[in-house]
Amino acid sequence: MPTAVLTILTFPLKIVSSEKPLKRTLFVLVVFVILPLLAFYLFQMGELIKNNYLIKNHQSQIQQIAESNMSLQASAFNLLSLDQAENEIASMGFVKVGKVKYIPLLSNYLAKNKTR
């Protein structure tokens, strides 16, 4: 009874006859399927870790900017308050006016529109 000999095509394109095709098939399976999948998995995990680090870094930057924004809003509010404006006016030497007197104008001193 003739025995079947399995011929397998390997990477350097040599035809190799093997009487133990199971070991050769497992080797081909490991080399051409499992190792590339493992490499792809490791690459994806590296990218995932890198992106998580970047997200945490950006979130901390956002929090710092938000805190800075809050302090800037508070200082802007203090600069625009009436108490601060009164202090600035007093430091410039202005005084508060008690009573205002207006100059009365007669109607003949006002500019009039002449129509033709």
Give the predicted TM-score (pTM) of the model: 0.46
In a domain, 29, yes or no: no
Residue 61 domain-assigned (yes or no): yes
Asked whether residue 72 is domain-assigned, the answer is yes
Residue 69 lies in a domain: yes
Tens of pLDDT along the chain (116 residues) come to 455 555 555 555 555 555 567 888 888 888 888 889 999 999 999 999 999 999 999 999 999 999 999 999 988 887 778 877 888 888 898 888 889 888 887 767 666 677 76
- What CA–CA distance (Å, rounded) separates 17 from 40? 32
Host domain of residue 58: 39-80
Q: Does residue 66 form part of some domain?
A: yes
User: Is residue 49 situated within a structural domain?
Assistant: yes
As a whole number of Å, the CA-based R_g of the chain is 44
Per the CB < 8 A criterion, the answer to whether 11 and 2 are in contact is no
In a domain, 75, yes or no: yes
DSSP characters for 45-114? Answer: HHHHHHHHHHHHHHHHHHHHHHHHHHHHHHHHHHHHSHHHHHHHHHHTT----S---PPP--GGGS--PP
Q: Please tell me the predicted confidence (pLDDT) of residue 83.
A: 79
Show the tokens assigned to 50: 């890198």
